[in-house]
Amino acid sequence: MATSPAPGTSVTEWSYASESADDTNARANGPEHWGELTPGYAECAAGSQQSPIDIDSQSRTLNEAGPKLDYHSPLLVTRDTGHTLQIEGASGNTMTLDGTQYTLSQVHLHVPSEHAIDGKRAAMEIHLVHSTPEGKLAVLAVLVEEGHDNLALSRLLSRLPQRGLSETLTSGLSANLLLPREHAGWQYSGSLTTPPCSEPVTWFVMQTPIEASQAQIDAYHEWQGGENARPLQR
């Protein structure tokens, strides 16, 4: 899960480069070192509820009803954050979970998936990031498996922005089109999956994946310039 820094906040550069990466500088800023980069990122190493996780479907309780979703305002803009493709839109989309109503802030993509289910990671993962006026965060995670072409992803991939820029989505896109038909899933308390790795974050990982073609997965991977998924934390 990626979040944008607050205005005026300085950002220490970090990367997704693994310990085996050729680029020494990128490797030094990779996930294994996030907690060492600045005191503000200490929770990446010291946190007790870090995400993503491997979900054991046999031991974790499945929430069959899922959250209450009211997504009626369109997503309008795709933006390159430097770490992911972020999709933003008009206000008014909400998710209600455990009696708390959260407002959809942004949507972004990871390749491969960050969460795993029973040890298996999917080809991609979509994060729908929500917040409350008090600053509580909740993320709806949708796994993406290889299969048929996904029309919603086709629209996003057709408007991939240049580096550091944004693109407008013609006529907008409903966030509902990024969801599976069934909304059952697993809920847990975790963290941001990007620096500063803040805790707590309420996660709801949907059990049923959506599909995307291998060509679509490859297209996003190429635009992204490689993988942008944090290793499993527990």
Asked whether the beta carbons of 75 and 87 are under 8 A apart, the reply is: yes
Alpha carbon distance 71, 87 (integer Å): 14
Element (H, E) at 77: strand 75-80
* Spatial separation of the C-alpha atoms in residues 91 and 200, rounded to whole Å: 24
Catalytic residue check, 130: no
Pairing between β-strand 185-190 and β-strand 201-206 as defined by DSSP bridges: antiparallel
Catalytic residue among 33, 72, 83, 221: 83
Contact indicator for 107, 86 with CB cutoff of 8 Å: yes
The one-letter amino acid code at 46 reads A
Q: How many angstroms separate the Cα of 170 from the Cα of each of 93, 105, 137, 158?
A: 19, 20, 29, 10
Contact 126, 104 (CB under 8 A): no
In the numeric block, the tokens 């190493």 are attached to: 45
| Spatial strand order in the sheet of 116-117 | 54-55, 116-117, 120-121
Amino acid at 146: E
DSSP 204: E
Residues catalogued as catalytic: 83
